[in-house]
Amino acid sequence: MKFFVFILLWCLCGMTLQAQFVYYPASDFPLLGKISEKTETRYERLPALLNGNTRPPVWELGKNTAGLAIRFVSDSKAIAVRWTLRAQVTMSHMALTGIQGLDLYTLEGKKWRFVNVARPEGKENTAVIISNMEPVEREYMLYLPLYDGVVSLEIGVDSTASIGQPKVDLPVRDKPVVCYGTSILQGGCASRPGMAHTNILSRRLNREFVNLGFSGNGQLDYEIAGIMTNRDAALYILDFVPNASVQQIEEKAERFFRIIRDKAPDVPVIFVEDPPFTHSKYDRVMQQEIERKNKALHIVFDRLKKAGEKSIWLLPSEKIIGDDAEATVDGIHFTDLGFMRYAEYLYPVIKKRMKKE
């Protein structure tokens, strides 16, 4: 009997907690991280014109919300979210909070600080991210799931609180950094969205990043190069080598670059080598494949330099996630430690290139 009463009180408490929130459509607030606003629905990454004009897996992955974030300001004592997932994707090697969840950051001075994560529990989700705060106005950034799509999204605040447009222009949205790549770029296997390296770098540089990572499908599709210049970028990062074969690098990498360069003749471009995945120390076939891919990339890069290209750089990846073999979940995909190390490796390179240009 006592147990039943406890459960009843617990449920009533939860109902009371939910009842105190007023929910607002996230569509009322700025959405960061998109290459184009002309998408079929708001919460996806590829413009509608690519439907039927890119490979089906690329199109489907474009509906994942990797790198997208909502900006808003509120003086609420608590923040909640309601969201509906597109597909309820699950994977054996990645946390659901990274695949399907959301996480919240707040601005302290000019630095972003993690608040908490919204844990998914099904296709329809409601979560209280944080409560018991002082009722002072704060700038917030809410990251969307990395490996699933969002059909609808609402932000909940106290019934007596306000919520509105951000008052601080951070991250700066003018001239974003546009990144193209693979599952690692998309965020596999970060424990939560804010730990994908593009999101880490966006906070550190206070610059908007566009994440065009396509799990298993960063294979130099020319139509993706064609949309990368839809935004006036500060920098392009091409991190496709883990997915591209030697033949694809030899045959497609230069043309992929030229499509971007023809529309953005002065914007810096950074090519990134294939990282030495931790198990390649023991897997001889993997080790040889990495060496062959990186050699092919160097040949393409050297050819571009000889042709007179100036604002291009090739980033070696030997130490990109450290040398202790502790930064991946499966020998390839990064843990939070791997993403943090990758971000720290890229940060000074990107900052220097952006400042110089």
CATH number at residue 179: 3.40.50.1110
11 preceded by a cis bond (ω within 30 of 0): no
User: For residue range 23-44, what is the model confidence (pLDDT) as tens digits?
Assistant: 999 999 999 999 999 999 999 9
Q: Show the beta-strand stretches assigned E in 4-162.
A: 21-25, 31-32, 69-74, 79-85, 102-108, 111-118, 124-130, 138-143, 150-158
Residues 330 and 276 in one domain: yes
Q: Residue 96: which pLDDT band, with cuts at 50, 70 and 90?
A: very high
User: For residue range 182-218, what is the model confidence (pLDDT) as tens digits?
Assistant: 999 999 999 999 999 999 999 999 999 999 999 999 9
Report yes or no on 266 lying in a domain.
Answer: yes
Distance CA 157, CA 145 (A): 21
Residues 230 and 352 in one domain: yes
Residues 70 and 200 in one domain: no
Q: Give the chain's domain count.
A: 2
pLDDT at 356: 63
Residues 154 and 237 in one domain: no
Report yes or no on 192 lying in a domain.
Answer: yes
Domain of 91 in residue numbering reads as 21-164
pLDDT at 281: 83
CATH number (domain holding residue 133): 2.60.120.260
pLDDT at 357: 56
pTM over 0.85: yes
At which of 164, 180, 210 does a domain end?
164
Q: What percent of the chain has pLDDT over 90?
A: 89
User: For residue range 272-290, what is the model confidence (pLDDT) as tens digits?
Assistant: 999 888 888 898 898 999 9
Average pLDDT, stretch 169-182?
97
CB–CB of 29/71 below 8 Å?
Answer: yes
Residues 181 and 101 in one domain: no
At which of 164, 182, 213 does a domain end?
164
Average pLDDT, stretch 165-174?
97
